[in-house]
Amino acid sequence: MKATFLYGPRDIRFEERDEPKILKATDAIIRMSATCVCGSDLWPYRGIQKITEPTPMGHEYCGIVEEVGNAVKTVKPGQFVIGSFCISDNTCPNCRAGYQSGCQNLEFMTGAQAPIARVPLADGTLVATPELPSDDLLPSLLAVSDVLGTGWFAADAANVKPGSTVVVVGDGAVGLLGVLSAKQMGAERIIAMSRHPTRQNLAREFGATDIVTERGDDGVARIKELTKGIGANSVLECVGTQESMMQAIRSTRPGGSIGYVGVPHGAQLDREQLFFTLVRLHGGPAPVRRYLPDLIKLVLDRTINPGKVFDLVLPLDQVAEGYRAMDERRAIKALLRP
Ligand SMILES: [Zn+2]
């Protein structure tokens, strides 16, 4: 089969490799129905996160189970499954507390931008749907695997409640689905920070009530203006830069909460500055596995349509164009069909 590898900055190759096999009794092999390019894949793609050897890419996936190891009990061949980008046993104390992304046996999924992939710890990682889903639901089911699960965690970590005022920093797929998540959790006012008309439109469709195009001091001033001078209860930080984190902290009211899910790159927090803001910070890699059953149900019920973040669909062998389109911000998120 052919699969996706990153060789260096902006060097994506779709090339021959052996088909993955069961290596451990807890593994499953799945045939991909759809996969995609993640915003976090762009960090190594742009050379900001260094790689030392050709690296198999892809950690968002859904598909049909082909084969399972002897110890796998909860999924079986022929089922449609969705998994998290975090591989977890779902039985250790951290998993039982709902933090599968802090699993004592944590691994990160790789190699999903391929027709077939190996998923370790299948029982703890994969969730099967009751029946094979119809084709039009695939984008939304794929979104659950990472971007929706991550946006949902950002909203949950930011303590979004019915009636909340929410600010979402970042208009990538995670930020947009953070808007959708806040809406589902009953937020009354959702302020999306975005400068791009197509992304603003999608944010509105997902439930944003206000759009702020300013950034930095002007952005903070605008948020204060919209919140009677105090800032928001709940702020979702969905970028990972120094600028976005400071934007989030300065947009939060004293006693308010920030859910931060943007993977930090070179960001630093000034403790003294943070001390006087009185904000709560909770974030990290999202424990998507905790939310999978509920989010899958919301998609199957057609209550939510997170798959709308995929504004580019390509055959898997054109994966390099998917990276280019996202890098150049011509696409929000590229879905790949094997
Ligand atoms: Zn665990």
> What pLDDT, in 10s, does the model give residues 311-333?
999 999 999 999 999 999 999 99
Separation of CA 103 and ligand 1 centre (Å): 3
Counting residues of the chain whose pLDDT is more than 90, the rounded percentage is: 95
Which range of residues forms the domain containing residue 236?
148-283
* Mean pLDDT, rounded, for 223-227: 97
Q: 136 and 56: one domain?
A: yes
Query: Measured at the alpha carbon of residue 206, what is the angle toward residues 200 and 207, in degrees to the nearest 5?
Result: 90
Q: 28 and 141: one domain?
A: yes
Separation of CA 26 and ligand 1 centre (Å): 14
Distances (CA, A) of 236 to 169, 171, 201: 6, 11, 19
Among 283, 298, 320, identify where a domain stops: 283
Separation of CA 28 and ligand 1 centre (Å): 17
* Whole-prediction pTM: 0.96
**In which band, very low, low, confident or very high, does the pLDDT at 49 lie, cut at 50, 70 and 90?**
confident
Q: What is the pLDDT of residue 265?
A: 80
Q: 93 and 12: one domain?
A: yes
Among 240, 258, 283, identify where a domain stops: 283
Contacts of 105 by beta carbon, 8 Å cutoff, 6+ apart: 87, 88, 89, 92, 121
Separation of CA 106 and ligand 1 centre (Å): 7
Separation of CA 146 and ligand 1 centre (Å): 18
* Mean pLDDT, rounded, for 125-137: 97
* Mean pLDDT, rounded, for 201-227: 97
Q: 159 and 273: one domain?
A: yes
Among 268, 283, 298, identify where a domain stops: 283
**In which band, very low, low, confident or very high, does the pLDDT at 264 lie, cut at 50, 70 and 90?**
confident
Q: What is the pLDDT of residue 114?
A: 98
Q: Round the average pLDDT of the chain to a whole number and report it.
A: 96
Q: 48 and 100: one domain?
A: yes
Q: Provide the token pair at 42.
A: 């762009």
Q: What is the pLDDT of residue 204?
A: 98
Domains contained in the chain, number: 2
